[in-house]
Structure 1
């Protein structure tokens, strides 16, 4: 039993180190969400920090409400891409664990 606990602690420490490394990588991994056929783009890292917002010149005009909607849609597209990227990144780490159904990393 003692060896089992030691092995479990070793695995937990390794997983903690892997998660720290993955979180550092996420800060530099960038994704871009788009809307309006690419006329509005939002680029963010995998920590949901927005790095850039690009708006095509043609979009800057009288229709403020439409532009606001397109910026929101581009942001939401980027956020979905972040979630997908993070899920993919952490799925390998979780595969070695016997997590209950519905529980996912990062917690």
Structure 2
């Protein structure tokens, strides 16, 4: 019975550490660029876009589709990098196990 109590304490401690790590992801940011840096997107670890910067040379009224593609590319790259960062942080606790609902 003592062994079970010890295991439950370890599980609870791991849960607390994982929750703290998830909270900390909100303060971490990832920056991604497209078009050689003319579009920059910053996202936090909770997959929220924090900022989008577009350099004036990226704005061509005759080619709006290009700008849209650049923004889309930078946003998707930022979100992919956030996933990688979150997975890396969570793998510290899960040892690579895939736990449903946990990124």
Structure 2 length-normalised TM: 0.89
Q: How does 1:47-66 map to 2 (within 5 A)?
A: 47-62=46-61, 63-66=63-66
Q: Deviations over 1:4-61 (max 9, x none)?
A: 3212211111011101110111010000111111111110101001110010110112
* Residues 1-107 of structure 1 mapped to structure 2, 5 A cutoff: 2-62=1-61, 63-95=63-95, 99=97, 103-104=98-99, 106=102
- After TM superposition, what 4+ stretches of structure 1 lie above 6 angstroms from structure 2? none
Task: Provide the aligned C-alpha RMSD in A.
Answer: 1.7
Unmatched 5+ residue regions in structure 1?
Answer: none
SS at the partner of 2:26?
helix
Q: What 5-or-longer segments of structure 2 have no aligned partner?
A: none
TM-score, normalising length from structure 1?
Answer: 0.86
